[in-house]
Structure 1
Amino acid sequence: MQVAKIATLALSIALPGLAQAATPSYGERLEGFAYPYPLKSFAFESQNQKLEMGYMDVAPNGKANGRTAVLMHGKNFCGATWVATIKTLSEAGYRVIAPDQIGFCTSSKPAHYQYSFQQLALNTHALLDSLGVDKVSLVGHSTGGMLATRFALMYPQQTDKLVMVNPIGLEDWKAEGVPYRSVDQWYQRELKVSAEGIRQYEQKTYYDGRWKPEYDQWVNMLAGLFNGPGKQAVAWNSALIYDMIFTQPVFYEFPNLKVPTLLMIGDRDTTAIGSDIAPPEVKERIGQYAQLGKDTAKRIPGAELVEFKGLGHAPQMEEPERFHKALLEGLQLK
C-alpha cells in the first residue's frame, strides 16, 4: 500500500512536467515544424523595416491548366494547414501559392507594425509580383476570407475568382454590441494561450463539439509557436492582428465586389471575435453561419453559395473529399 502511495505521489509530481513536455516548442518563425512542401522566403521592406514572408509555391502535378491559386490562411491556421487543398489543386493542374502573412507562422514578427488588411494585401501583391504572377484565384479561409475580400477589392483586375471558406467578418461585431478589447488586453490574453485552451475553443466553436485526432497536429503547431522562445513576440503580433480583425470590417464593402465570388459555408460554425466577453443577448445572436452565409451571398453581386450541412468552421479539414469536389467545381470560370 505504501509503495502504491509513493508511486501515486511521484506520478502526481511528474504530471505537470509531462503535460508541459507534451506541447512542442517551436521558434518565433515556427522553426522546428515541418512544412508539407518546400518553404521559401520573400524578403521585402515595409513600414521602414526589413521583413520576410514564408510561402510555398507548388507547381502543377501533371498537366498545367495555366491558372494560379493563392491560399490565404486563417488566424489560428498557417499555410501548412492547406496541405490537402494544395495537393488537390496541384493535381488538378493549378500552380498553388500558400503564403504565411506577416505576423503569422513562418513569417516575421515585427516589434511594431500597423496591421491592416490593406497592408497584408499589398504584401501579398508584392510577393505575387516578385513571382511574375498577374492573375490569381483567391481561396481565403476564416481571417483569410477577410483578407481575400480586401485583395479582390484592391486588385479586381488581378482576381479571376474569389472563394471564401467560412470567412469571419460576415458581421460587424462591434456594431452588434461586442465590447472592445485594447491591444494590451489582447496581449495578456494571448500570453496565456495553451494547447488545451486551443483545443477546447476549436472543438466548441469550430466543430460543433466534435473532434478528430488529425486536428491535434494543428493544435500543436499553434500551441508550439506560443510555447517557444519567441512567445512574447508571437503574442504581441497576435494581439495587434486581433485588433485589426475587430476594428477593420470588410462587411460594409461586400456589395462593392466586382469579381466572381463563391461562398463556402459550414453551417455549424459559430465563430465570432469577442464572443467570450459579449453580453449574453449579443453572444446568442452573433456567429450564426447558417444565416450569415445566406445573408452575405445576397449582398455580393452574383455570388454563389455552397453550404456544407452539419460541418463547422473548417470544412476543408472536416470532410476534405466533399469540400474539394465543391471547390474544384466552384473554381471553374464561367
Structure 2
Amino acid sequence: MKKFAIRLIVTIFSLAVGGLASAGPMLEDFDYPWEVKRHALVSQQQVMEMAYMDVAPEDANGKAVVLLHGKNFCSATWGATMQILLDEGYRVIAPDQIGFCKSSKPAGYQYGLHTLAANTHDLLASIGADDPIIMGHSMGGMLAMRYAVQYGEAVSGLVLVNPIGLEDWRAKGVPAVTVDALYEGQLQTTRDSIKTYQRDTYYAGEWRPAYDEWVDMLWSMYQGEGGRIVAWHQALTADMVFNQPVVHEFDRITAPTLILIGEQDTTAIGKGRVSDDLRANLGNYGDLAQETAAAISNARLVTFPELGHSPHIQAPEQFYDALLTGLSAF
C-alpha cells in the first residue's frame, strides 16, 4: 500500500504540471500525460480524426483496457488511472470521442451512442486491440454499455464508474428541450458554474486545489470564438445523452461487469427543469446502483457511500484497490 500511495502521488504531480487555461476548442495547449496519436476515420461522409493515447506497459500481462471519458471530461482525466493500470501490466488505450477535447468537432454531425461506439470500434480494430476490457465513467460508462451491447463478443470485461443512463429521465417526467435551448444554456457557462457543479456533484460538496485542473481544462475550451463550437457540440451531446438511455437494454449485456459507484452522486440530465418533488426522485445512485447490478447478469457491485460522481479522483487509493481487485476476476 505504501508503494501504491507513492506512485499515485508521483502520477498526480506529473499530471499537474501540464498546460492549463486558454487551450481553445481543440485543447491545443493542454498537455496530455502521454503522446497523443490520431486515428483518421470516415463517419457520416466526413473525414475526421480521433485523438487517443495508446500506452504499452513495461511488463505486459496480455490484456488491454480501453478508457472512455465522460461528457465533461477528456481522456487526460484518466491519467492517474492509466499509470496504475500500466503498473499492473495492462496496455491502456484512452480516446477522445469525436466532438470532444482534442478530437474533430465536425459540422452537422448527428450524434448517437451507437455512432460513438462504432468510431471506437474502428479505432480499436486499426490498432489491434482485440477483446479489450471496456471501462467508462459518466457518459463514458453509458457509452461502454452501448459498446458492450453492440460488440458483445469483442468485450472481455466491462467496468462502469458512476455511469449515466441508469434511468430514463423522459419516462420519469423530465421534459425535453430543443438543441437550440441547450446551446443557449451552454453559452452561459462560466468557470464558476463549472466549479460549482463539479464540487456539488463530482466530489459530494468537497473541494481540493487539485480539482481545479479539471475545471480549467473544461473552461479553456469555451474561450474565444471557438467556444461557440464547443458549446454547440456540448448541446448536441447533451441531447444525445438525454434521448438515448441504455437502462432498457441491461439484459443484453453479457460481458462480466464491475460496477463502481460513489453513492453521493446526484447526476440526472434535465433535473434543473423539474419540480423539487420530482428532482428528489432523480439521480439516486444508491438505489440505481442496486437496480443496475440486479439487471446485468454476471455483475459485481462495489459502492463508496461517502463519494460522489468521480470516485477515482476523489478517493483514488480506495478506488484503485476496488478496481484492481475487480479486474483480477476478468
Q: Report the TM-score when normalising by structure 2.
A: 0.92
Aligned twin of 1:150: 146
Residue 165 (structure 2) aligned to one of 166, 169, 188: 169
Aligned twin of 2:41: 44
| TM-fit CA distance, 1:151 | 0.5
Amino acid of the residue matched to residue 191 of structure 2?
A: A
Q: d(CA) in 2 for partners of 1:106 and 1:176?
A: 35
Aligned twin of 1:187: 183
Q: d(CA) in 2 for partners of 1:24 and 1:84?
A: 20
Aligned twin of 2:314: 318
Aligned twin of 2:98: 102
1:26 and 1:229 in contact (8 A); partners too: no
Map of 1:64-143 to 2, 5 A cutoff? 64-143=60-139
1:128 and 1:134 in contact (8 A); partners too: yes
Q: d(CA) in 2 for partners of 1:84 and 1:97?
A: 13
Residues 1:228 and 1:32: Cα distance change in structure 2 (over 3 Å): farther
CA RMSD, aligned part only?
Answer: 1.1
User: Secondary structure, in 3 states, of the residue corresponding to 2:32?
Assistant: coil
Amino acid of the residue matched to residue 47 of structure 1?
A: Q
User: Secondary structure, in 3 states, of the residue corresponding to 2:204?
Assistant: coil
Aligned twin of 1:34: 31
Q: d(CA) in 2 for partners of 1:313 and 1:50?
A: 34
Q: How many residues align?
A: 311
1:330 corresponds to 2:326: yes
Mark the runs of 5 or more structure 2 residues left unpaired by the alignment.
1-19
Q: Deviations over 1:57-115 (max 9, x none)?
A: 1111x310000000000011000000110000001000000000000000011111110
1:196 corresponds to 2:189: no
User: Secondary structure, in 3 states, of the residue corresponding to 1:306?
Assistant: strand
Aligned twin of 2:305: 309
User: Secondary structure, in 3 states, of the residue corresponding to 2:51?
Assistant: strand
2:254 and 2:298 in contact (8 A); partners too: no
Mark the runs of 5 or more structure 1 residues left unpaired by the alignment.
1-22
1:316 and 1:323 in contact (8 A); partners too: yes
Residues 1:139 and 1:44: Cα distance change in structure 2 (over 3 Å): same
| TM-fit CA distance, 1:272 | 0.6
Q: Report the TM-score when normalising by structure 1.
A: 0.91
User: Secondary structure, in 3 states, of the residue corresponding to 1:174?
Assistant: coil
| TM-fit CA distance, 1:229 | 3.7
Amino acid of the residue matched to residue 306 of structure 1?
A: V
| TM-fit CA distance, 1:48 | 0.8
Aligned twin of 1:24: 21
1:206 corresponds to 2:202: yes
After superposing on structure 2, the runs of 4+ consecutive aligned residues of structure 1 that deviate more than 3 Å are none
- Amino-acid identity (%): 51
Q: d(CA) in 2 for partners of 1:68 and 1:309?
A: 29
Q: Deviations over 1:104-159 (max 9, x none)?
A: 00001111111001000000000001101111001100000110001011111110
Q: d(CA) in 2 for partners of 1:331 and 1:296?
A: 19
Q: d(CA) in 2 for partners of 1:302 and 1:68?
A: 20
1:260 corresponds to 2:281: no
Amino acid of the residue matched to residue 178 of structure 2?
A: S
Q: Deviations over 1:21-62 (max 9, x none)?
A: xx93222211011111111111111101111111011111x3
